[in-house]
Amino acid sequence: MKKHSRFIYESYIWQVKGKDLHISFIFKIEPNIYFKPKIVIKNINHSRFRKIKKEVLDNLVFHLGLMEIPTYWKAICSPEIVITAGYLSKEQIKWWQNLIIKGMGQFFYENKLSWQKPKITCRLGVQDPSLHMCVQGTSLHKQDYLVPMGGGKDSIVTLEALKKQRKQVNCFVVNPNKHTKAVLRVAGIKNPIIAVRKIDSKLLELNKKGYLNGHTPFTALLSFLAVFCAILFGYKNVAFSNEKSADQGNLKYLGKTVNHQWAKSSEFEKKFKKYIQKYLASGVSYFSYLRKYSELEIAGMFVKYPKYFHVFSSCNAGMRISPPKAEVFRRVKWCGSCPKCLFTYLILCPYLEKKELLRIFGKDLLREPKSLPVLMDLIGKGKHKPFECVGTYQESRKAFKLCFEKSRKEAKSVLF
């Protein structure tokens, strides 16, 4: 949008209201468009909260605002982003420019845009040392683990593995829906840490008017939020559930790799760990518990916990469906048409009986005619790897081969 040359992060505000911490940010698209997104952290520990220095909280909240920028900047892709809410060094500016380029590749590709590295300028002329106050490890409980939970199989595997090791574990959730709440109930998590994130409705209005829209690195935002909550509630370890297949991109575009899962990749994990150690919280340990495993291996771990079969979901489309009241819970969780549904079916198929798969998904997705083009994309015989959190081509091929062999064995057993 040529008429909007600058995006400005003007300020942030935080205050305690009752049991909750309320945070809001003010963004401006010149000349006269304002956004005021909000985040609410529920049920904070007031005694601990009072022990955290204001300068530390300011720095953490400032960074939450930085991570909200891509969501609103993408509407115009202005050549310049101006930061007046706080200070960024040259090194930090490069870090954030890299996040925009690597994390928004799918957005650039789908909107037919060039790879745009915006100029980021900071209005504060000198560094304010107080903004770089780091939380030390002495204020955090070394044996406590915070697991971001979305209701899918991967985070369930991480949670159960840590519980088996007798670790003190809690879950962190953002905007929990009934499916996520059901998973937490089954897991026995009684007091999860909850964040409520509210998108400014003006953004949706701009989208309707033709302003740009598309994918942003949501897991990066979750990472900043999870670290923030770890500090607020005293958790030293933040255990994500990203696996090694997230390192494979989807396609090449204008000489660069587009990776839908870049914010789940080992590259982002390494960069983020270094960033938080230097600029946010030196005492927090951020890592992915499942990094060394493939999706197929994780599926093999997940099937050991059948108590979750009726509540877990990995389908983004299914979560948005509003079915008739008579429709069963299972059908809401799985749309049965998207790449995520088919891939999840594919990697569970080698481990589960057919009747169990049907109970979970409602139908045999491999026998659905509309699944064929999706399957071709998953195994590398179609256009490109789907823009979803799915495994590598190699994993999909191996899973499909195992499903085929299993089907042949089942057919023989019926005949003989």
Say if residue 283 is in the same domain as residue 317. Answer: no
Structure tokens at 83: 């930061």
Say if residue 284 is in the same domain as residue 382. Answer: no
288-314 mean pLDDT? 96
Is 330 a domain residue?
yes
Give ∠ CA 40-209-118 in degrees, rounded to 5.
65
**Residue 244 pLDDT:** 95
Closest-CA residue to 252 (of 71, 98, 383, 396): 383
Instruction: Tell whether the model's pLDDT for residue 126 goes beyond 80.
Output: no
**Residue 326 pLDDT:** 36
Instruction: Tell whether the model's pLDDT for residue 328 goes beyond 60.
Output: no
pLDDT digits (tens, 9 = 90+) for 251-267: 999 999 999 999 999 99
pLDDT digits (tens, 9 = 90+) for 236-252: 999 999 999 999 999 99
Are 179 and 318 within 8 A, CB to CB? Answer: no
Mean pLDDT computed over every residue of the chain: 91
Is 306 a domain residue?
no
**276: containing domain:** 6-135+193-288
d(CA 195, CA 229): 9
Residues 6+ apart with CB under 8 A from 4: 29, 30, 33, 76, 78
**Residue 416 pLDDT:** 37
341-345 mean pLDDT? 97
Alpha-carbon distances, residue 270 vs 280, 315, 395 (angstroms): 15, 28, 24
Say if residue 276 is in the same domain as residue 345. Answer: no
Are 156 and 173 within 8 A, CB to CB? Answer: no
Is 29 a domain residue?
yes
Say if residue 263 is in the same domain as residue 387. Answer: no
Q: How many helices (H) and strands (E) does the chain have?
A: 16, 13
* Phi, psi (degrees; rounded to nearest 5) at 237: -110, 125
Domain boundary among 253, 288, 323: 288
User: How many CB atoms are located within 10 Å of the residue 97 CB?
Assistant: 16
Is 300 a domain residue?
no
Cis peptide before 31 (omega within 30 of 0): yes
Domain boundary among 288, 321, 356: 288
Closest-CA residue to 8 (of 58, 73, 95, 62): 73
Is 119 a domain residue?
yes
CA atoms within a 13 Å half-sphere pointing along the CA-CB vector of 121? 10
Is 174 a domain residue?
no
d(CA 297, CA 206): 43
Model confidence at 316, in pLDDT bands (50, 70, 90)?
confident
Is 304 a domain residue?
no
Say if residue 114 is in the same domain as residue 199. Answer: yes
297-326 mean pLDDT? 80
Say if residue 262 is in the same domain as residue 319. Answer: no
**Residue 323 pLDDT:** 42
Model confidence at 333, in pLDDT bands (50, 70, 90)?
confident
Model confidence at 317, in pLDDT bands (50, 70, 90)?
confident
Instruction: Tell whether the model's pLDDT for residue 194 goes beyond 80.
Output: yes
Instruction: Tell whether the model's pLDDT for residue 332 goes beyond 70.
Output: no
Is 148 a domain residue?
no
**Strand, helix or coil for residue 194:** strand
Say if residue 110 is in the same domain as residue 256. Answer: yes
69-89 mean pLDDT? 96
33-41 mean pLDDT? 98
d(CA 358, CA 353): 9
385-399 mean pLDDT? 96
Model confidence at 327, in pLDDT bands (50, 70, 90)?
very low
Say if residue 211 is in the same domain as residue 79. Answer: yes
Closest-CA residue to 7 (of 206, 249, 258, 219): 206
Q: Tell me, what amino acid is at 160?
A: E
Say if residue 120 is in the same domain as residue 250. Answer: yes
Model confidence at 415, in pLDDT bands (50, 70, 90)?
very low
Beta strands 193-198 and 38-41 are: antiparallel
Number of domains in the chain: 2
Are 52 and 39 within 8 A, CB to CB? Answer: no
176-181 mean pLDDT? 93
d(CA 9, CA 81): 8
Say if residue 263 is in the same domain as residue 403. Answer: no
Structure-token match 């951020």, residue found: 286
Domain boundary among 273, 288, 303: 288
Say if residue 236 is in the same domain as residue 385. Answer: no
Say if residue 96 is in the same domain as residue 212. Answer: yes
Query: What percentage of residues in the chain have a pLDDT greater than 90?
Result: 84
